[in-house]
Amino acid sequence: MLTHYNQISDYTTKDGSTIRELMHPKHHGNLNQSIAEATVPIGITTLRHLHKSSEEIYHITQGRGKMRLGEKYFSVSVGDTICIPTNTIHQIENTGDTDLVILCVCSPAYSHEDTVLVD
């Protein structure tokens, strides 16, 4: 299984970020997880949300931001990795001067149906 970045279209998720599904069971034949690249533009904050079934991992590849994970808030920047447990409210704000780019790994794979907006 192989994907090519320049052949993958992006779309907007329920939380307001723009993502490219780099590998997802619905499209690529893998079974249990997904990896996507999310982009959060300068000054934008994603909507507060949680995932009912998926554990998610964020790995920051560009920019910097402020992460909300449950009741905790903390700064993130290139090289940081955050584990987001199932049913944990989270959101991220781009506080930098360039796009915030995040690799997002979900297991089970990401789905709109598993995403619950909070507020």
Give the residue extent of every domain in the chain: 5-117
42-69 pLDDT, tens digit per residue, is 999 999 999 999 999 999 999 999 999 9
Rounded to two decimals, the pTM is 0.93
Query: How would you class 84 by CB atoms within 10 Å of its CB: exposed for 0-12, middle for 13-18, buried for 19 or more?
Result: buried
Structure tokens given for 54:
């998926």
Task: From 98, 15, 26, 97, select the one nearest 58 (Cα to Cα).
Answer: 15
Amino acid at 8: I
As given in the structure block, the two tokens for residue 114 are 């598993």
Confidence (pLDDT) at 56:
97
Output the pLDDT for position 25.
86
The yes/no answer on whether domain 5-117 falls in CATH 2.40.110.10 is no
In 3-state terms, what secondary structure has residue 70? coil
In tens, the pLDDT along 76-119 reads 999 999 999 999 999 999 999 999 999 999 999 998 899 999 98
- Quickly state the pLDDT bin for 12 (edges 50, 70, 90): very high
- Whole-angstrom distance, CA of residue 85 vs CA of residue 117: 16
